Amino acid sequence: MVQVFTRLIPLLLLLALARPGFAAQGLAIDPATCLGCHGNKISAEAMANSVHGKNGCTSCHIEIIELAKHMKGEIKVGKVQCVRCHKKEAAEHAKSIHSEKGIGCAQCHTDMHSHTYWNKDKRRVIVKCTQCHKDERGFSQSVHGKGVLAGNQDSAACNDCHNLHEIKALGDPKSHSNREFHTKVCLRCHADEKLVERNHISEVAVKSYMESYHGKNYRLGYPEKVAGCADCHTAHAILPSKDPNSSVNPANLVKTCTACHSKGSQLFTKFYAHGEHNDRERYPILFYTFIAMTGLLVGTFTVFWIHTLLWMIRGFVENREKAAALEEGIILHHVPDGHKQYRRFRRVHVFMHLLVIISFLGLSLTGLPLKFSDQIWAKFLMDLYGGAPNAGFFHRVCAGITFVYFAMALFMSVHFLFIRKDIKGNPLQRLFGPDSLCPNLRDISDVIGMVRWFFFKGPKPAFERWTYWEKFDFIAVFWGMFAIGGSGLMLWFPEFFGMFLPGWAFNVATIIHSDEALLATGFIFSVHFFNTHGRPEKFPMDFVIFNGQMSKHEFVEERGDQWARYEKDGITEQFAAKKSSGIFYDFCLKAFGFTALFTGITLLMLMIYAFMHPHH
């Protein structure tokens, strides 16, 4: 009887306290009433100071609507549904790996009755996450972890990379989303110029990465094919390069690099991962390489664009003069049998030129998107090819074709100098003779004569077999093969060349390959296209390279000195075409030629657009 009476005392007291609740039906139960029983587990002061302090207990424990029934145990209390108030957070959590693993709100927010607002203090995030993720405790010793623990709220904590609630599974280590994550989360902070400036972080880290082969592929949407930030710096134990435990410490670089480059060596690790060609003090080799290549580009384009502009104006005036003379019935240059066709190129030359066109356009179409990876059109082209790996494969196939026609050109050069019987003189005389593509003193007088013609100071030169601009094109191919071809081979087989070349040689090769390719494409699609097809006397196309034939009238007018030499030697008829090229052949080759011309001009326009509208 005493025991029953003892148990009834607290109940009677609670009922007395709860009387106002019975007197005013429908009012919420006073939290103080709840604490009468639960005060031994829940601190009234802590609850009052918590984020939930202004809520009544029944705001969360909604099943408790009648205190008496609850006290008698007649109401079953379920799990609190945080989603009722925290809809955004709950929606994010529902899509997270925590939800998939059955980890609910209370398993992280264990202090639900005393939980205070975090005020974006990242130290609390680290403490909470490391309660379960003990394997990542090395993070607290990293530059990020130390920064956060020291109170720097700019430094990265777990939530900066993984979010607070929408924590995604990393999934397959080789998947697109996983590989993208390795870099994307780093850019959130390191691409923030203000954050980088106030924390004295290297401002070139992101820029230099984006200008590298790895960064360009990432930007084009193929991070799974290249290294991301975390591949070199690790995901959590990010340390300064001077720290002996750092993955990018010189002593550890071989191990880091060989994770991707299986045959990496100590020499290979000399590569400047974040080398900047604008930094003369730290990277003088890159700086002067870039200056030299920029000088070559600017010098070449300046000279030949001026040459092109002057020729365009002078050629237009000459065409008007010819048209006016024809209206008056005057024939300025009468050539007997002017319609007769003569052979300028043999079939092997036509075939080689087709190889040049196919390989050059292929290299341009697959290389320029990488060069201008920040452009929307670059992403479109890469997707059209089926991805950067496919583009890389096509690029290398076209490079192989380039080496084929270059080998043919070398063989034909040796044959021309030492073997051919129809060319007069010894090898030295042949090298500087009229049939050679090697520059000679005659070219100087031709240049002077052409400039005089531009300014209406004299007649247009009567050229020999090769003009000075054609010789320049030919020499440029040889230079290009060593500059573009040599650097391209280095970038194609980095592990092989890394066995005997220092890693910074690949930085140099990248600059040379990129800038020389820019020079080649810009020159071919503007200057060369004008010289061959765009000049007023040939527009819209000079078909001679496709069928190897030209009329006697064109021959005499364009290469008067060559024709005069052939007449003097009595060999003109040896070059007479036996028959003109067929209709079907002409149709197919002209369609091919115009397609190539249109493609090249389109790429030129895209390049100009990219320079005028750079994206960052």
**pLDDT tens-digit profile of 564-587?**
999 999 999 999 999 889 999 999
Residue 171's pLDDT is 83
Nearest Cα neighbor of 553 from 369, 299, 338 is: 338
d(CA 392, CA 376): 19
Same domain for 411 and 548, yes or no, is: yes
Domain boundary among 253, 270, 287: 270
Same domain for 441 and 590, yes or no, is: yes
Tokens in use for 468? Answer: 């000075």
CB 500 within 8 A of CB 526: no
In Å, the largest CA–CA distance within the chain is: 144
Does a structural domain hold residue 146? yes
Does a structural domain hold residue 547? yes
Tokens in use for 34? Answer: 């709840």
Q: What is the mean pLDDT of the chain?
A: 91
Q: For residue range 58-99, what is the model confidence (pLDDT) as tens digits?
A: 889 988 888 888 888 888 888 889 998 999 999 999 999 999
Same domain for 431 and 512, yes or no, is: yes
Above pLDDT 70, what percent of the chain? Answer: 95
Residue 377 has pLDDT above 50, yes or no: yes
Same domain for 515 and 574, yes or no, is: yes
Which of 38-52, 187-201, 376-390, 396-410 shows the lowest per-residue confidence on average (mean pLDDT)? 38-52
d(CA 592, CA 596): 6
Does a structural domain hold residue 94? no
* Burial degree of 444 (CB within 10 A; 0-12, 13-18, 19+): exposed
Q: Compute how many other C-beta atoms are within 10 angstroms of the C-beta atom of residue 538.
A: 17
Same domain for 341 and 448, yes or no, is: yes
Same domain for 331 and 233, yes or no, is: no
Q: What angle do CA 379, 518, 509 make, to 5 degrees?
A: 95
Tokens in use for 420? Answer: 């051919």
Residue 2's pLDDT is 45
Per-residue confidence band for 223, with pLDDT thresholds at 50, 70 and 90 = very high
Per-residue confidence band for 15, with pLDDT thresholds at 50, 70 and 90 = very low
Considering its fold, how many domains does the chain have in total? 3
Higher pLDDT, 136 or 598: 598
Residue 370 has pLDDT above 50, yes or no: yes
Torsion of CA 528, 531, 534, 540, to 10 degrees: -100
Residue 8's pLDDT is 44
Same domain for 79 and 165, yes or no, is: no
How large is the average pLDDT for residues 168-194?
A: 91
Alpha helices, H only, 130-223: 143-149, 158-162, 176-190, 193-198, 205-210, 213-220
Same domain for 235 and 380, yes or no, is: no
Same domain for 241 and 323, yes or no, is: no
Same domain for 457 and 594, yes or no, is: yes
CB 372 within 8 A of CB 610: yes
Does a structural domain hold residue 4? no
Does a structural domain hold residue 43? no
Q: For residue range 140-172, what is the model confidence (pLDDT) as tens digits?
A: 889 999 999 999 999 999 999 999 999 998 888
Domain boundary among 247, 270, 293: 270
Q: For residue range 447-479, what is the model confidence (pLDDT) as tens digits?
A: 999 999 999 999 999 999 999 999 999 999 889
Does a structural domain hold residue 558? yes
Domain boundary among 217, 248, 270: 270
Q: For residue range 247-277, what is the model confidence (pLDDT) as tens digits?
A: 999 999 999 999 999 888 899 999 999 999 9
DSSP, res 576: B
Higher pLDDT, 15 or 39: 39
Q: For residue range 394-428, what is the model confidence (pLDDT) as tens digits?
A: 999 999 999 999 999 999 999 999 999 999 999 99
Does a structural domain hold residue 389? yes
CATH code of the domain containing 344:
1.20.950.20
Residue 12 has pLDDT above 70, yes or no: no
Same domain for 237 and 382, yes or no, is: no
How large is the average pLDDT for residues 424-438?
A: 95
Sequence-distant (6+) residues with CB within 8 A of 216 are 210, 370, 373
Tokens in use for 150? Answer: 């020291």
Residue 616's pLDDT is 57
Alpha helices, H only, 462-571: 468-480, 486-492, 494-497, 504-522, 529, 544-547, 552-558, 560-569
Does a structural domain hold residue 387? yes
Domain limits for position 261 = 124-270
Same domain for 346 and 249, yes or no, is: no
